[in-house]
């Protein structure tokens, strides 16, 4: 489940259920997609987001590469999109 997609948030009850399920199952929860790099980096400063992972669009943690410099999961042969400059600031 994704808590926000294309600017629309799920209802509070659905969000609480998703968070509780993720905590109980020890799994990750997708917060949102379609963010700019600066928006994603700003989320890293949020106190409750202590275990936040930023992934390239349509890319998950498994099978992805990780850029230590940008703390960013990516895939593909072009390397980290932030390192290459191919991203939306
Ligand atoms: Zn990078």
Measure Cα distances from 6 to 2, 57, 59, 70 in Å.
11, 13, 17, 24
List pLDDT tens digits, range 43-71: 888 887 778 899 998 888 889 999 999 99
pLDDT for the residue 50: 75
> Distance, CA 63 to ligand 1 centroid (Å)?
17
> Distance, CA 45 to ligand 1 centroid (Å)?
19
> Distance, CA 41 to ligand 1 centroid (Å)?
13
pLDDT for the residue 64: 94
Tell me which DSSP letter residue 30 carries.
B
pLDDT for the residue 6: 59
List pLDDT tens digits, range 4-34: 765 667 788 888 888 888 889 998 888 888 8
């Amino acid at each position: 489940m994704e808590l926000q997609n294309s600017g629309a948030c799920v209802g509070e009850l659905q969000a609480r259920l998703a968070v509780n399920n993720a905590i109980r199952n020890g799994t990750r929860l997708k917060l949102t997609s379609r963010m700019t790099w600066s928006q994603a980096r700003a989320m890293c400063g949020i106190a409750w987001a202590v275990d936040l992972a930023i992934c390239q669009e349509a890319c998950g943690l498994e099978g992805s590469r990780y850029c230590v410099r940008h703390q960013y999961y990516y895939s593909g042969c072009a390397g980290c999109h932030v390192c290459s400059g191919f991203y939306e600031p």
